[in-house]
């Protein structure tokens, strides 16, 4: 995927806010990767915990956010737990917003 296209997709994903933490999934480091093939965007992401009850809701929000991107016809979300998420994946912005050192 071209860098500009990936940037557009990641910017769209920044509109998906984790309702428990109030920070977007990109800055939280929940998005592990995005790929695109013939109009379908494949998102590999994780959750802050394995038992997170919001998995379905976040997946739906990802599909909605990316569905608004020009040229995206379908979205597939793959939620993985390997590698496990940790605070180290968060951006500086997310750490400041959440008061994490």
CATH number of the CATH domain containing 51: 3.30.300.130
Per the domain annotation, does 98 fall within a domain? no
Cα 69 to Cα 100: distance, rounded to the nearest angstrom: 32
In a domain, 45, yes or no: yes
Residue-wise pLDDT tens digits, 24-79: 999 999 999 999 999 999 999 999 988 888 889 999 999 999 999 999 999 999 99
For residues 98 and 2, what is the distance between their CA atoms, to the nearest angstrom? 32
With respect to residue 95, please indicate whether it lies within any of the assigned structural domains.
no
Domain membership of residue 60 (yes or no) is yes
- Number of domains composing the chain: 1
CB 45 within 8 Å of CB 18: no
Model confidence band, residue 7 (pLDDT cutoffs 50, 70, 90): very high
Question: Is 97 among the domain residues?
Answer: no
Give the residue numbers spanning the domain of 18.
3-89
The answer to whether residue 81 sits within a structural domain is: yes
Would the pTM count as exceeding 0.75?
yes
- Ranges assigned E (strand) in 1-101: 17-18, 23-24, 31-37, 40-45, 74-79
In 3D, which of 12, 14, 10 has the Cα closest to residue 23?
14
In a domain, 11, yes or no: yes
């Amino acid at each position: 995927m071209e860098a500009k296209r990936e940037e557009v997709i990641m910017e769209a994903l920044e509109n998906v806010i984790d309702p428990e933490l109030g920070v977007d999934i990109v800055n939280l480091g929940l998005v592990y990767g995005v790929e695109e093939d013939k109009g379908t965007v494949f998102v590999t992401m994780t959750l802050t915990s394995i038992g997170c009850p919001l998995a379905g809701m976040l997946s739906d929000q990802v599909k909605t956010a990316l569905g608004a991107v020009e040229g995206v016809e379908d979205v597939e979300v793959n939620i993985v737990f390997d590698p496990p998420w940790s605070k180290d994946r968060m951006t500086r912005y997310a750490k400041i917003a959440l008061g994490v050192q």
